Each structure stands twice: as structure tokens, then as C-alpha cells.
């Protein structure tokens, strides 16, 4: 209506913005490896993306951490231990609660503000990976709240979340048996790609289009104790291939372990310098 100052002037026709977005590998023409056996970003099959990890990034939280795996970015905050208010949740051992959430702008398509089924499943997997590493008997009748938010999703969000949350718990001063390191792998036939990007990750239609064993695997371990805390897989994969992928992921986790240790050392030095000690 002309003359209406409250109305925003806009075009009469609109178009879907995703029509102008370049395909990131959802189609059948996407190739995991080129003729030189390299991936789209130039990495070899056994190479992981650069890792950036920092602890103590949220001043209001008891412990916090921030992680980057190239374009995959996540931040975690830890609060507690807090007293369990509900009587039905009483336990002489401490409890962990994990809240995994994608930011609305983190993915190619806008996410909802409320948790969907995928985020609930990832919350459970994150909880199962962290529980074996935390000394729950040290804070009876209390719970530790972990909130993780993915700021940008470019694949391998679960391993990034596990490492970020593990460092955040240690930064909060919670006693742990060991840090939890994690790595994921994309399996396509005889090819095992460590730390897959979003375009390389397994989707349900890949098994039908590729016509061979295809899937993905995520492994979380306690390196010092040499124990597995999390193992999940999906797709159609032979046992021999899974065994080979687990060995490669284990080697990758041992390489990432010093990065997490160095991150905590820097965080402790920063806290000591602030206190003047």
C-alpha cells in the first residue's frame, strides 16, 4: 500500500536462496578421491584437518573450551557439580547431563531452536563417551551439566564435540581418569578417509549409489589407559574393514592427545599469570 511507512518495501517475487548454492557432494557425481588418490581439499586418506583448541573461553562457566577442525567449529561450557534437586534422581554417584545443539546458522539448511532427533542422539553418544572418563564417585548426589553448541558444521562434529567437552571438563577442575580423544572415518569400499568433511560424510543414499560397502565409524578412546569409551558405526561395512578403520582411528587419537594436553597446560599458565603466581 503506497504511503504506508510501516510496510517494508520488497520485491514482488522471491526465489529460494539454496538454488544458488553450489552442491557440496549430496549428488551422485561427487567423487571422494581424484586420480591422484587425494580428496577434494588436497588431503590424503589418512590425514586429518588442522586442529585448534583453546580452554577457558567462557568466563561465566566453571570450565569451557573451543575447538576448530578447519571449518567445523564448536564451543562447550561446563557447570557444576550442582546438587540434584529431584528426589527420584538421587544417586551416590555423580551424574552427567549433556546438551548437544546445532546453532541455527551452523548448517547449510537452517536448524530449529528446539532439539531435533539428530541432536538428541548426538547428546546420548556424547554422554556415553564422557562418562567412563569422569570420576563420578568424587561428587555424590550431584550432577555436572555439559552444554555443547556447534557454531559451524563441516563434518566430524561428534569427534570434535567429544574432545571439546573433555577439555572443558578438565578445565573445570573435575577429576578424570583420562582425557577422551576421538576420530571418525568414512568408509567407501577399500578407501578409509579419516576426519571426513561434510561433503565426504556417509549418508543413507550412498550405499545404493556406490554399490559396495559404505558407511562411517566414530571412535573415542582414553589414550593413557588404552581403553575405548565410545564406538559407533552406520552403513554396510565388513568386519575386516571396520577392524582396519578402528586401528587407523586409534593411531589418529594418539596423535591428537598431545594437542589436548598442551591446550590444558596453556590454560593453567594463563590462570596462574592472572592471579600473579
The range of the structural domain enclosing residue 248 comes to: 46-272
Is a pLDDT exceeding 50 seen at residue 182? yes
pLDDT at 17: 74
Q: Shortest CA distance to 219 belongs to which of 179, 182, 192, 255?
A: 182
Residue 18, pLDDT > 80, answer no
Query: Which triple of cell numbers denotes residue 219?
Result: 571412535
Distances (CA, A) of 175 to 53, 91, 141: 20, 18, 16
Q: Is residue 10 part of a domain?
A: no
Domain presence at residue 159: yes
C-alpha cell at 42: 588436497
Mean pLDDT of 31-52: 86
- Identify the band that residue 29 occupies on the pLDDT scale cut at 50, 70 and 90: very low
CA dihedral 120, 121, 122, 123 (to 10 degrees): 50
In this structure, is residue 13 part of a structural domain? no
Whether 18 is in a domain gets the answer no
Is residue 3, in this structure, part of any structural domain at all? no
At residue 153, the pLDDT reads 92
pLDDT at position 206 is 58
Mean pLDDT of 142-160: 93
Nearest residue to 152 via CA among 201, 203, 182, 108: 108
Per-residue CA distances from 213 to 186, 201, 236, 239 (Å): 11, 14, 5, 11
Per-residue confidence at 10, pLDDT binned at 50, 70, 90? confident
Between 154-163, 188-197, 256-265, the lowest mean confidence (pLDDT) is in 188-197
Q: Is residue 229 part of a domain?
A: yes
Residue 124 backbone phi and psi in degrees, to 5: -65, -45
- Average model confidence (pLDDT) across the chain: 87
Q: What percent of the chain is modeled with pLDDT above 70?
A: 90
Q: Is residue 233 part of a domain?
A: yes
- Is residue 237 included in any domain, yes or no? yes
**What domain count does the chain have?**
1
pTM over 0.95: no
* Location of C-alpha cell 562411517: 216
Q: Report percent pLDDT > 90 for the chain.
A: 52
Residue 211 has a pLDDT of 54
Q: How far apart (Å, rounded) are the C-alpha atoms in residues 250 and 141?
A: 35
**Is residue 91 pLDDT above 80, yes or no?**
no
d(CA 68, CA 257): 15
Taking alpha carbons only, the member of 151, 24, 166 closest to residue 75 is 151
Cell 573435575 identifies what position? 174
What value does the mean pLDDT take over residues 89-116? 87
Q: Does residue 86 carry a pLDDT above 90?
A: no
pLDDT at residue 191 is higher than 70? yes
- CATH number, domain of 180, equals 3.30.230.70
Amino acid at each position: 500500500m503506497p504511503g504506508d511507512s510501516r510496510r517494508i518495501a520488497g520485491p514482488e517475487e522471491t526465489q529460494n536462496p539454496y538454488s544458488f548454492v553450489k552442491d557440496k557432494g549430496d549428488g551422485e557425481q561427487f567423487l571422494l578421491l581424484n586420480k591422484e588418490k587425494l580428496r577434494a581439499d588436497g588431503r590424503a586418506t589418512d590425514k586429518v584437518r588442522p586442529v585448534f583448541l583453546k580452554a577457558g573461553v567462557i568466563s561465566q562457566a566453571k570450565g569451557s573450551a573451543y575447538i576448530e577442525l578447519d571449518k567445523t567449529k564448536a564451543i562447550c561450557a561446563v557447570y557444576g557439580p550442582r546438587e540434584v534437586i529431584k528426589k527420584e534422581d538421587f544417586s551416590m554417584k555423580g551424574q552427567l547431563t549433556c546438551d548437544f545443539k546445532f546453532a541455527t546458522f551452523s548448517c547449510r539448511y537452517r536448524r530449529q531452536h528446539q532439539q531435533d532427533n539428530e541432536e538428541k542422539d548426538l547428546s546420548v553418544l556424547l554422554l556415553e563417551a564422557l562418562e567412563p572418563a569422569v570420576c563420578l564417585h568424587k561428587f555424590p548426589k550431584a550432577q555436572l551439566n555439559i552444554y555443547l553448541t556447534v557454531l559451524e558444521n563441516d563434518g566430524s562434529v561428534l569427534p570434535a564435540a567429544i574432545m571439546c567437552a573433555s577439555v572443558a571438563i578438565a578445565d573445570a577442575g573435575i577429576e578424570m581418569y583420562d582425557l577422551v580423544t576421538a576420530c571418525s572415518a568414512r568408509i567407501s569400499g577399500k578407501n578409509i578417509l579419516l576426519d571426513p568433511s561434510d561433503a565426504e560424510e556417509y549418508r543413507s543414499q550412498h550405499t545404493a549409489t556406490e554399490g559396495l560397502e559404505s558407511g562411517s565409524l566414530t571412535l573415542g578412546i582414553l589414550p593413557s589407559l588404552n581403553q575405548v569409551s565410545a564406538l559407533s558405526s552406520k552403513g554396510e561395512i565388513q568386519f575386516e574393514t571396520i577392524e582396519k578403520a578402528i586401528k587407523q582411528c586409534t593411531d589418529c587419537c594418539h596423535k591428537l592427545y598431545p594437542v589436548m594436553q598442551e591446550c590444558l597446560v596453556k590454560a593453567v599458565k594463563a590462570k596462574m599469570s592472572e592471579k600473579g603466581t
